[in-house]
């Protein structure tokens, strides 16, 4: 099969590798039809994470089940499914909460070296009853891909931000996850959502969703003016670097919550512990409980309460992955998220 691999920072290749085999009696093999490039994939592309060997990339996949183990009950061959980006064993007390992050054996993420990469023609999925969801009626391919990670992450970030009814929220970073967080915050009842990003076109996209766009250098003044000097009740950081995490802690009010859903690099963050303690700031770091979000998000999408349109800005064939990665890494207004078709 063909698979997208990263050989070195900035070097993406599409190689022929062996087809995956069934990963045990509770597993399945999915023929991937559409996958996507996530902002967190760029940490490999930009050299934030070390590479001891080529890594098959990707953790967002929609496809058709082509093989199932004898213990699988929820899906069968021929079913069209989406795959949770985060995997758990599916059988422990942690997975019983529908949150793979709390798996007793530890969560694993597709496309990070622990499991196969979703940017491939086939994907082996362990614990298929836990990881796979038959795509419901009314859910299109792009929405299904967002449910594998980005929308689940944005929604979890908003849920864990303690947004009060009518409260003021700031979302830092307007990539795919950030825009999902903006829409989730609005759906969760926020009064004003400040959408903060250095790229004007990305701010314009957030404004069309109902957010108040602001460039990073003007964010503090705008938020403080809008709140009478009190600052934001909730801040969602969808970037996760030192600059945005520091800005988030400066934008949140005393007693407020900072919800970090952006992926940090491997360097320590200089956390201002004393100031945060004195101000009684709550800090939450979240890897999305993807499976737990599905029963919440799918009815909202089908009811028209949460819009998923306009997050994907381009679709390319799998063979164009090297150019697609370069386009996503440019972080332009015109290229927000790219789907790869197989």
Q: How many domains does the chain divide into?
A: 2
Same-domain check for residues 7 and 144? yes
pLDDT at site 284:
98
Mapped onto helix, strand or coil, the DSSP state of residue 36 is strand
Same-domain check for residues 323 and 267? no
Same-domain check for residues 292 and 307? yes
CATH of the domain at 264: 3.40.50.720
Among residues 283, 305, 327, the one where a domain terminates is 283
Same-domain check for residues 124 and 194? no
The strand ranges marked E within 264-334 are 282-285, 314-317
Range of the structural domain that residue 231 is part of? 154-283
Q: pLDDT tens digits for 90-138?
A: 999 999 999 999 999 999 999 998 899 999 999 999 999 999 999 999 9
Same-domain check for residues 106 and 197? no
Among residues 283, 301, 316, the one where a domain terminates is 283
Q: pLDDT tens digits for 48-99?
A: 998 989 999 999 999 999 999 999 999 999 999 999 999 999 999 999 999 9
d(CA 292, CA 94): 12
Same-domain check for residues 143 and 65? yes
pLDDT at site 109:
97
Same-domain check for residues 335 and 236? no
Same-domain check for residues 143 and 97? yes
Q: How far is C-alpha 312 from the chain's CA centre?
A: 13
Q: Taking Cα atoms as reference points, which of 183, 173, 244 lies closest to residue 211?
A: 183
Looking at the DSSP assignment, which residues form a beta bridge with residue 80? 64
CATH of the domain at 122: 3.90.180.10
For 53, residues 6+ apart whose C-beta sits below 8 A from its C-beta are none
Specify the length of the chain in residues. 342
Same-domain check for residues 158 and 249? yes
- Let me know: does 21 contact 124? Beta carbons within 8 Å: yes
Same-domain check for residues 47 and 195? no
- Let me know: does 16 contact 131? Beta carbons within 8 Å: no
What average pLDDT does the structure give for the chain?
97
Same-domain check for residues 162 and 253? yes
Same-domain check for residues 2 and 139? yes
User: Which of the residues in the chain have pLDDT under 70?
Assistant: none
Q: What is the chain's Cα-based Rg?
A: 20
Among residues 263, 283, 303, the one where a domain terminates is 283
pLDDT at site 113:
87
For 28, residues 6+ apart whose C-beta sits below 8 A from its C-beta are 22, 65, 67, 68, 69, 72, 75, 124, 125, 128, 132
């Amino acid at each position: 099969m063909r698979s997208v691999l990263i050989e070195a920072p900035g070097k993406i290749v599409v190689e022929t590798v062996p087809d995956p085999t069934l990963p045990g009696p509770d597993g399945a093999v999915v023929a991937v039809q559409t996958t996507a490039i996530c902002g967190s994939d760029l940490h490999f592309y930009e050299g934030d994470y070390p590479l001891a060997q080529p890594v098959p990339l990707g953790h967002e996949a929609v496809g058709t089940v082509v093989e199932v183990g004898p213990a699988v009950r929820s899906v069968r061959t021929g079913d069209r499914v989406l795959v949770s980006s985060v995997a758990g064993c599916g059988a422990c007390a942690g997975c019983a909460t529908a949150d793979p992050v709390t798996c007793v054996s530890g969560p694993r993420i597709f496309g990070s070296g622990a499991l196969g990469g979703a940017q491939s023609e086939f994907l082996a999925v362990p614990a298929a009853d836990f990881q796979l969801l038959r795509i419901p009626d009314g859910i299109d391919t792009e929405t299904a891909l967002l449910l594998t990670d980005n929308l689940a992450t944005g929604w979890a970030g908003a849920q864990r931000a303690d947004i009060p009814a009518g409260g003021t929220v700031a979302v830092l970073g307007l990539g795919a996850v950030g825009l999902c967080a903006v829409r989730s915050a609005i759906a969760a009842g926020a009064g004003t959502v400040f959408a903060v990003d250095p790229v004007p076109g990305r701010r314009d996209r957030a404004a069309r969703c109902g957010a108040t766009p602001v460039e990073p250098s003007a964010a503090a003044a705008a938020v403080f003016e809008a709140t009478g000097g009190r600052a934001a009740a909730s801040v969602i950081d969808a970037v996760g670097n030192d600059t945005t995490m520091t800005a988030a802690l400066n934008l949140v009010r005393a007693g407020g919550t900072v919800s970090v859903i952006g992926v940090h690099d491997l360097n320590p963050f200089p956390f201002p512990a004393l100031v945060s303690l004195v101000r009684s700031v709550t800090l939450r770091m979240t890897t999305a409980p993807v499976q737990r979000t599905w029963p919440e998000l799918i009815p909202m999408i089908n009811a028209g309460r949460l819009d998923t349109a306009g997050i994907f800005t381009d679709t390319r064939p799998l063979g164009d992955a090297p150019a697609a990665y370069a386009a996503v890494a440019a972080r332009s207004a015109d290229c927000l998220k790219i789907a790869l078709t197989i």
